[in-house]
Chains A and B, each alone.
Chain A
Amino acid sequence: MELLLAVGIGALFAVGFYMLLRRSVVRLLLSFVCLSLAANLTIFTSIGLQRGRAALARAGEAAPEGPVADPLAQALILTAIVISFGVLAFAMVLVKRLYMVHGTEDLDLMEPHGDSPEEGSGR
């Protein structure tokens, strides 16, 4: 299973970076999602996998019994998921704005100082 997940993570990273290198800004956003998934899975896998054993204490127990999935890694990933969602939401609106100001989603056609007619109002 670890081998399978490691290969899967590698594939997600590869696809993510491939999309990152495209000229379309929207692809850039998608690559961000893909890379977040890959990164979270990397942490999740590297800490060691435990099938079906969540870090939950049953009623009356002082601590979860037996080997359980590492809760600290999960807490970190949880934070990461939420933050990357926040960043994604902001990036989406930003990219939309970029598109409206420049009239294109092609990064190569966006001039550093903008020469599109909407430039003046885009400030």
Chain B
Amino acid sequence: MPSLLELIVLAAFGLGLVVPAWWRSLGKRGSAWTAVVPGGLFVWLAAMGPGEQTSFRPWAPDLGAELAFRLDPLSWIFCLLITGIGALVFLYASGYFGDDPATGRFLSTLACFMGAMLGLALADNAILLFVFWELTSITSFLLIGFKSAKEKARKAAIQALFVTGAGGLAMLAGLVWLGLESGTFRLSEMPALPAASAGAVPILLLVALGAFTKSAQFPFHFWLPGAMEAPTPVSSYLHSATMVKAGVFLLARLNPQLGELPLWTPLLATAGALTLLTGGLLSLRATDLKQILAYSTVAGLGALVLALGVGGESGAKAFAAFLVAHALYKGCLFMAAGSVDHEAGSRDVRELGGLARLMPWTAAGAGLGMLSMAGLIPFLGFVGKEYLIGAALKAPWTLPAVIVGAATAGWAGFQTAIRPFHMGSTPEAGHEAPWSMRVGPLVLGGLALALGLLLPVMDAARLNDVGAAVWASGDTPQIKLWAGINAELMISLASLALGIILFVTWPRWQQAVVERADRVKFGPAEGCRALLEVMPKLAGFAAAPFQQGRLRIDLLVVVLTATLLPAIALLRHGGLSGDLELTMPLIHEVMVVAAAVIGAILSSATQSRLAAIAFLGVSGFSTALLFAFFGAPDLAVTQLLVETLAVVFFVLVFSKLPRFAALGSRWVKLRDAAIASAFGLVMTALVLAVLSADPMTPVSAQHLALSVPEAKGANVVNTILVDFRALDTLGEITVLVLAALGVFSLLRMDREEAEAAA
């Protein structure tokens, strides 16, 4: 019976399994109902609360892998975000896709992603965590490239997989190393890594590489804006609210183990600040609603890494508050942007305007999200921004980045929620999005307001517990809505003012910035693209000497390698110096071996096709005789049957073809003969080397002893085939069936053509 925590993960994957059939039978209405599963999980998790729960099941104990799950405040809040936003996204997707026949496939992949993400959040074992981590990368790949007919979507999907996959490998190395160093792979039992240990620096760097690629930190940020090729439900779910936070989650999860290392703060704070700066500044050049939001998501992720890097109480508070605030307002704004795209047919902020009259609900939801994003009291975004600035004050050199990030975040909010809706002239055509697409922005925006408003009364999102889980000092921080008039508030207001100035002056500078930015043709994204182009070329260059596209030349390389390498190995290990017990051959054995060899040689020499087949038949029958001489009656019988059938087939299929043409010059024949002879010589030596090696107890001793009592068979070869190694025989039969099917279909093709020609 699966535990509660396992059930949560299984439910999501189960949804993925049944959704295609569900959608086929219920259609558009059915897709809206899929939101019930994540919604139900959300309610269940919310009712359960963040109290600690664990579940354990052995998996591969020798490898340190176990199905260990653990619920704590950090994983609880992640699960709530995953299921809560998940429910809204499922609902949203049902309206977004409507009757599109690909909806079933889309929702199924989305549900599998949700399962992987829940598993990632709940995993308490490093190996298990990695498995779910990779699953999120793969589902993300499938979802980014969902419109697979679009080349741009495919390229973006490959780029995202390339970057996150490479980072995932580095992370695996780091996690394994960390597990070996701490003696356990159970995350909750891992002690803090001592700074003096040999692996401290490389472990941190490897794990950080995984986290930075996943969470789009500078200089790996470029894949995230590219991922905007995905349908908007994906962008709002994976690429703003959940998956991209997996890297941040990993760092928060390992904060107790790695947070005390001296490199932690400089590494994370620098990466976070740089990412904040990069994302914020790059967002200014974007005119596509989704691109603006994508770059500001990059900045938001940078802010979270920065908060973790600063650490301590202020870092933990900033992380907890901003994590939830960001997920809410970004999910909200992405959905609103998708609705605009869906209904107005454009995402270019330069073309949109006056949509508030047509889409009042979407405009209202986006407005709420925007106010939170800009950091206005009493929204949760205000709290997050406040504490973020507080954390930055602890590492003052990051303050400029935070101010730029906050100002551009405000600008991005206004740009996506005011300009398309409340400015410019209302287009004639267009209408409000369907209700299923209105719910998401309104609920998320409303939550951003409610959670902030409620904060003085109750900590509904349990932010203080989340902060305590990250802080790992045993104390619980106190997150407040209003911390009084202090430096943070002043900086917050200043950055808000800066954001407003940017917004108001945008029409004046946008053209110059966009044009100048378009001229930049270098950067990490171009580097990645070049790498992807260079690697196949490099591989082709390396393979060219050995594979020239001519079968025989390729074969020659293989034969020569198979000759030279064993020859070198034989010579280096003293050749055939071992004891070789030889028995004298009997006269009939000599004759049979001679017949086999002569048959083969004649078969290769004759020009007549029929003679060649007959001569090779001699070799085959001689081999059957050899089997019979040396105690293998089964082999002898089989070989006889097969040989007979083969000769008959050969004659049937090829008798009508002309004689072999004499192809190839004398020189080529001599060369091939020399190489083939050398290979034959090496094989002879190998057989003798094997025979002269020290005898070992054969595996078959067991078969001989057990054949009669256990398998009830007197013929040990037969009992091995049908009893001890029955699965091998099943595989063999499968191969035969496949071959027979192939023969059948090819022959039928011939016959159909003959009939068509007649």
Contacts and interface: CB of A to CB of B under 8 A. Distances in A.
B676 A21 contact: yes
B35 to A, nearest CB: 47
Interface string A51-63: 1111111110111
B580 A2 contact: yes
Interface string B674-709: 011101111110111011000100111001110111
A10 B632 CA distance: 21
B616 interface: yes
Interface residues on B, range: 35 or more
B664 A89 contact: no
Contacts of B721: 75, 78-79
Interface in A57-77: 57-59, 61-64, 68-75, 77
Contact of A79 (B596, B698, B714, B729): B729
A71 B704 contact: yes
A81 B582 contact: no
Interface string B615-645: 0100110010011011111110011001001
A82 B720 contact: no
Contact of B629 (A33, A52, A71): A52
Contacts of B704: 55, 63-64, 68, 71
A4 B657 contact: no
Contacts of A29: 650
B739 A86 contact: yes
B673 A82 contact: no
B631 A52 contact: yes
Contacts of A100: 750
Given A1-B585, A21-B672, A72-B700, A93 B642 contact: no
A89 B652 CA distance: 12
Contact of B556 (A21, A33, A50, A92): A21
Contacts of B698: 47, 70, 72
Contacts of A6: 684, 687-688, 691
Interface stretch (B131-139, B263-271, B599-607): B599-607
A40 B619 CA distance: 13
A74 B634 contact: yes
Contacts of A62: 708-709
Given A57-B708, A82-B732, A72 B691 contact: no
A72 B697 CA distance: 13
A5 to B, nearest CB: 6
A114 interface: no
A54 to B, nearest CB: 4
B717 A12 contact: no
B555 interface: yes
B631 A44 contact: no
Which of B551, B631, B639, B732 has the most C-beta atoms of chain A within 10 angstroms of its own C-beta? B631
Nearest to A37: B623
Given A46-B687, A93-B742, A8 B596 contact: yes
Contacts of B549: 112
A23 B677 CA distance: 18
A1 B653 CA distance: 38
A30 B612 contact: yes
B680 A13 contact: yes
Contacts of B675: 17, 21
A67 to B, nearest CB: 10
A106 to B, nearest CB: 6
A97 B585 contact: no
B505 interface: no
Contacts of A11: 597, 600-601, 680
B596 A93 contact: no
A1 B586 CA distance: 8
Contact of B683 (A10, A59, A88): A10
B597 A49 contact: no
Contacts of A40: 623
Contacts of B683: 9-10, 13, 38, 42
B601 A15 contact: yes
B688 A2 contact: yes
Contacts of A5: 593, 626, 687
Contact of A26 (B646, B654, B707): B654
A94 B741 CA distance: 12
A115 B622 CA distance: 43
A3 B596 CA distance: 15
Nearest to A29: B650
Given A4-B593, A41-B623, A83-B732, A106 B708 contact: no
A81 B552 contact: no
Nearest to B617: A33
A2 B691 contact: yes
Contacts of A24: 660-661, 663
Contacts of B650: 29, 92
A53 B750 CA distance: 48
B635 A74 contact: yes
A29 to B, nearest CB: 8
B482 interface: no
B583 interface: yes
Given A9-B687, A21-B552, A21-B676, A55 B631 contact: yes
Interface in B697-743: 698-700, 703-705, 707-709, 714-717, 720-721, 725, 728-729, 732, 735-736, 738-740, 742-743
Contact of B552 (A1, A10, A107, A121): A107
B738 to A, nearest CB: 8
A47 B590 CA distance: 20
B584 to A, nearest CB: 7
B619 A79 contact: no
Contacts of A112: 549
B746 interface: yes
Contact of B680 (A14, A23, A41, A53): A14
Nearest to A49: B630
Given A18-B676, A37-B596, A51-B629, A107 B551 contact: yes
B740 A86 contact: yes
Contacts of A51: 629-631
A1 B584 contact: yes
Contact of B634 (A13, A78, A86, A96): A78
A23 B552 contact: yes
A56 B703 CA distance: 12
Given A12-B596, A89-B739, A18 B660 contact: no
A62 to B, nearest CB: 5
B65 to A, nearest CB: 33
Given A21-B556, A44-B632, A97-B750, A3 B626 contact: no
A41 B454 CA distance: 83
Interface in A88-114: 88-90, 92-94, 96-97, 99-100, 105-108, 112
Given A1-B583, A2-B688, A63-B708, 13 more contacts: A3-B582, A10-B687, A14-B676, A17-B676, A27-B660, A42-B687, A50-B630, A56-B716, A62-B708, A85-B646, A87-B735, A92-B654, A96-B654
Interface of B: 549, 551-552, 555-556, 559, 580, 582-586, 589-590, 593-594, 596-597, 600-601, 603-604, 609, 612-613, 616, 619-620, 623, 626-627, 629-635, 638-639, 642, 645-646, 649-650, 653-654, 657, 660-661, 663-664, 672-673, 675-677, 679-684, 686-688, 690-691, 695, 698-700, 703-705, 707-709, 714-717, 720-721, 725, 728-729, 732, 735-736, 738-740, 742-743, 746-747, 749-750, 753, 756
Interface of A: 1-24, 26-27, 29-30, 33-34, 37-38, 40-42, 44-59, 61-64, 68-75, 77-79, 81-83, 85-90, 92-94, 96-97, 99-100, 105-108, 112, 121
Q: Which 6 A-B pairs have the closest CB atoms?
A: A14-B680, A10-B684, A69-B631, A86-B739, A72-B700, A10-B680
12 contacts: A4-B585, A14-B681, A15-B601, A20-B555, A30-B613, A50-B631, A52-B631, A71-B703, A81-B635, A85-B645, A87-B735, A92-B649
